[in-house]
Copies of this chain bind each other. A is one copy, B any other.
Amino acid sequence: MTKFMAVVEYDGTAYHGWQLQKALPTIQGRIEDALERILGTPTRVHGSGRTDAGVHAVGQVAHFVSNWSRSVEELKRGCNALLPPDITVRKLEPAPEDFHARHSAHSKTYIYKILNLPLRSPLNRLYSWHVQSELDLQSMNRAAEYLVGTHDFAAFGSPTEGTPSTVRRVLETAWLRGQPLGLLCFNIRGTGFLRYMVRSIVGTLARVGSGKLSTSEFEAILSSCDRSRSGPAAPPHGLYLQSVNYEGDACDAKSSCVSV
């Protein structure tokens, strides 16, 4: 038996998130279907974590175990031939026996994209959150600095399955301007994230950017650990799981800011 590590890109638009759900299209489900057809046996795929319905990924990571004996390149080609066009296995390689997509991860990087223009853009509508009122990037960056470090993030999300604690460590945050005109990208890297955490942070930071909250009010919301005080979560279609980072990976949250 060999353990394999896969890096997966997907457009989350058509899916009910990563995690397998009966009778609903999910990314995990599609990948397991493809593997079963190639390997001839049901194969459980373990992701680095869930992504919610509508959320995209540039670099979700998953592992699985198989007795596949031909080349890994052939297995990757087979997967991509059977996967729908909105899911692609970008990388597939044998992994050490003790590798675990979730437990071995040191950090994850998410990117959230806002299109900050008076008018909606048809060509960007599926891949960024359209915010009409002008956002002040400087104050959003100042507020986001409060997130860096180890904090109880209960104000911004709910515990994930199996981990009741709401304490997490954020390593880096950065808002960047990009292309096309009006595109703002929020990069956030952390050792772990609560459910809805990035979307809830972005929804609250957008209130800072539009002047509805001061940066110190943002800090107070973080400290309050009170979910009812944070802003409404930003919609899922602006969110990307950019990368899952393991021992020895180079990490840079400050990637370029371009649409899709």
Contact = CB atoms under 8 A, between A and B. Distances in A.
A122 B87 contact: yes
Interface string A113-131: 0000001111111010000
Interface in A50-84: 56, 58, 80
Contacts of A180: 256, 258, 260
Contacts of A124: 260
Interface in A88-132: 88, 90, 119-125, 127
A11 interface: yes
Contacts of A164: none
A226 interface: no
Chain A, interface size category, equals 20 to 34
20 contacts: A9-B122, A9-B123, A10-B122, A11-B123, A56-B123, A85-B120, A85-B122, A85-B125, A87-B122, A88-B120, A88-B121, A123-B127, A124-B260, A179-B258, A180-B258, A180-B260, A258-B258, A258-B259, A259-B259, A259-B260
A93 to B, nearest CB: 14
A90 B117 CA distance: 11
A88 B119 contact: yes
A217 interface: no
Contact of A9 (B87, B90, B121, B259): B121
Interface string A211-230: 00000000000000000000
Given A80-B119, A179-B256, A260-B259, A11 B125 contact: yes
A16 B122 CA distance: 16
A127 B260 contact: yes
B260 A86 contact: no
